Structure formats: C-alpha cells, structure tokens
Amino acid sequence: MDLDPDSCYRALRAKDRRFDGVFFVAVASTHVYCRPICPARPVRREGCRFYRLAAEAERDGYRACLRCRPELAPGNAPLDGPSRLVARAVKAIEAHAGEEALDVEALSGRLGCSSRHLRRSMQAELGLSPIQLDQSRRLALAKQLLHDSTLSLAEIAFASGFGSVRRFNAAFAQRCGMPPSRVRQGRERVRSDAFTLRLDHRPPLDWHALLAFLAARAIPGVEQVQDGAYLRVVSLGGVRGWLSIQPFEDKPQADRPQLRASLSASLSPVVRPVVARLRRLFDLDAEPLRIADHLGADPALRPFRMGLRVPGAFDGFELGVRAILGQQVSVRGASTLAGRIAQRFGDPFDSPCPGLTHSFPSVATLAATSEDALAQVGLPRARAATLRAFAVAVNNRALLLEPGVDVEETLEALQRVPGIGDWTAQYVAMRALGGPDAFPSSDLGLRKALGGMGPKEILSRAEGWRPWRAYAAMQLWHSLGASPEGATR
C-alpha cells in the first residue's frame, strides 16, 4: 500500500485510531517517530515523513517516541501492499524467537523460495532485509519489557533474542539513543513471579463475545475463562508456565484500547512468540471499522456487530485436534474429549491458578500414541485414526500450522489427511492460520442463517464478502446464537 502523505497528515491531525499501526510519522526536527494517535501536538506538514513500518523509520535513523510507544501499535492484518511471499515472511518474522540472529536460509526454505529471492523481495516491497525487520521487532519487544515488566535487564536481553547483555545494550543505545537502563530511571524494580504486558488494539473490541466463544470451547485443565479473564497453561520450546489476559482495568477504555496480559516469569525466554500467539488468538490486529463497513453493505449481515473478531488459536496443532474432536459431537462433548486427552497424554502442571492442571500433549506425543490408546478416551475408531494421522502429518512437517504458511496449500494438505473434509479444513484455516477469507460454506448454521441456501448458493453470495468471509461467518453464527462445531459436515 503506497502512502499518500496528505491523507496521512489529515489522519494525524485527527488522531484517527483507524490508522493506528497502518502508518508511522517521523518528525525531522526531533528525529523521533510516532503513532498517528500520539498525544503530542502535530508539527507542520513539511516536517513530517510517513512510513508503513516502524522498522523503516528506524532504518532512516529515527527513534521511537516515549509518549505514544510505537512498539505497542497493532499490526496490519491482512497486509494490503506486500506480495503474498513478503506478507507470509513478515508474519513468520514477527513470531520468531530464540536464537540471536534470524536464520534467513531456514525461513526462506519454509516459504518455498531461495534466501536471495526473499531478501530481494523484501527489499523491493519494504526497503528492509529480513534481518533488519527481525532486529526492529526484537528491540521493540525489549522496549516494551523495559516499560511494562519487572524483568531484569539480563532477562530482557535474552527474552528479546540477544545473545548477551553487552550486545543488547549496544544495539538498544544505537537504535534508541539511550542505554536501556535510562528507560527505567527513577522506577523501582520489584521482583515478582509474574510480569504484565500491554496489548494494544484498534477499537471496538467485543470482548464479551470473544470470551464467550473461548469459554464454550476451553479444554479442561489446559485453559479456562474466569472473572472476565482468559487463562491457560503454556508449553513452548521446552518452557512451561501460565498466563492470563483481560481488558485493562477490567473494561476497555475508549482512550486506551488495550488488553493486559500477565505471564509467569518462567515464560520470559519465549515472551515474543507468546505475545504473537495472544495477538492471533484475540485477533488484535484486525481493522474492525473497515471490516464492518464492507460487510455491513449486505442486508444478510445487518446489523453487523461492531468489534466482532474471529477468535484465533494459541497453538495450531491444539486447535486442529480440537476441531477433529468436534466432528459430529456437541461443543461440550468435544471439550470433554479434549480434556481427557490432555489429562491422559499431557504433562501435569503445578499452577497457582485453580483449574489449570495439565499442558496439552505435544505433537510428538500424540504422533507416537496408538489408535487404540486414543480410542480409549471415548473416541470412535475412525476419529482416533484421523487424530493420529493428523498428528503424524504435523510431526513429519508434511502439514504446517504456523505463521507464514500458505493458506491454500495448507487447506489442500489438511484434506489429504483421512477423515478431514472441507468444513474442518476451513475451520482450522479460520482459527489456526488466521485466514480472514476462510469460509466453511457447507456449515448447517450458515445455511440456516441464510434462509436455507445450499453450499453453492452460499459461496456465490459470499463472493461479495471477500476478503473477510471468516468475519461474515462469525456474524452469521452469532446472529443465530449457534455453534460452528457439531454441525453435519
């Protein structure tokens, strides 16, 4: 998407939240870049430069504003301008964690291209290399942790992917114009077993609808909804812990649209992928007003519920298992079966949160489990066979359910698993892959909401809903108070 400077400046003067995260403004006189909703008084038009990504402003030597904190800006989902390859690469880089440097060769291999082609494409589309974008995201995370958490500087250095404190200090000082310790100057650091982070989003956000959807599908022992908050056990890269997330000060505020995520201190080494997964789970990078304007034009979708999001998945494999278990049974029945699988094949977890007792079993664990053992939790034999085949495909990486994968290719791979049809594949694409245009046209709830239309008629009607057919499906299900699971495929 090419930025029109005059339009950007008008949005900046209006402090229009629809454009928060869509572009950033850099001020030549101060050499600082901001979000378009920054409370500071805008400078004259000729003193501004506009960028699509924060990393582009940083590449040109601008420092992040300490008032509006650009590292908290919601992302763009879906990306309008970049090619599919670049859009997939950006998603994968944003969820990257662990080693100090991004492995560009491995990333390009997952994306099905050469590393040279990936670098050339990103440079042409964004003016950035994969390494530059990755370093920008690491420093943004470090800045957020410095502001919001009680982690030590050493913990922040390693959590944000730097191999040493010295390298972290040098990179932060070079990019931000100050040592990391100055961000915390004058604030006492109190050691705690947990730390809190802000997750900003574009308003409105229908938190109650999101929470109700997740509560009905919570896996007993692994996740739960309690007192207006979502809680779960996390097992990621050999690190285990717990988290909870709820609106800031117990309710969304018009002037501060954000959620508050509390994470156990044990999760600090994987905080970057955890935050990325939470943003996908709650669909925090959506543009709700833009989606509502588009879909609300169809009488079948009126009145469109403002702030309705497509609930994602914290873990793609876990969601896939949950979708398979939901075939031909009720939502409650599928949750019961998922809880039995977690209790029997997952690892016990000692949590301070009552009700969180197990982590969900890993891909390798379920791939190595026999069909007989899976059937013993109460599954029909055919369903147990499908579940194991699905686990084997993911374990062998014949099926990838991670950021940056090609949605169409993954839909085809899902349906090659015996027992997985179009409905289940589309449902997994909606939630696990964050595919905004995924659409289970054969769903009985959609047919009922649209007056008994057949799948072909529904697909024809839904052409006008692209590229947000997943949001249209959520609206139709919500209009019925219906569940997407348990319908005949």
Would you tell me how many other CB atoms lie within 10 Å of the CB of residue 192? 13
Calculate helix-pair angle for 316-325, 331-345, nearest 10 degrees.
130
Structural contact between residues 267 and 239, judged by C-beta atoms closer than 8 angstroms:
yes
Please tell me whether the peptide bond between 180 and the residue prior to it is cis, using omega within 30 degrees of 0. no
User: How many helices and strands in the chain, by DSSP H and E?
Assistant: 22, 9
Cα 415 to Cα 409, 410, 425, 429, 463: the distances in Å are: 10, 9, 7, 12, 23
Q: Which residues contact 95 (CB under 8 A, 6 or more apart)?
A: 272, 273, 276, 277, 402, 403, 404
- Reference 226, options 245, 240, 242; nearest CA is 245
Q: Which among 34, 48, 65, 68 is annotated as catalytic?
A: 34
User: What is the β-pairing status of strands 63-64 and 194-200?
Assistant: unpaired
Q: Which of 200, 283, 315, 443 is catalytic?
A: 443
Contact 319, 428 (CB under 8 A): yes
**H helix runs in 21-96, sequence order:** 54-59, 84-94
Is-catalytic flag, 255?
A: no
Residue 458 has which token pair?
């529904």
Q: Are 442 and 423 in contact (CB under 8 A)?
A: yes
Nearest 5°: phi and psi at 197?
-130, 150
Is 227 an active-site residue? no
Contact predicate 104/231, CB 8 Å: no
Tokens 């959609």, residue located? 446
Do the beta carbons of residue 359 and residue 349 sit within 8 Å? yes
Distance (Å, whole) CA 26 – CA 49:
5
Bridge-based pairing state of the strands 258-264 and 194-200: antiparallel
Going 418 to 445 to 468 to 319, the CA torsion angle's sign is negative
Which residues carry out catalysis? Answer: 34, 443
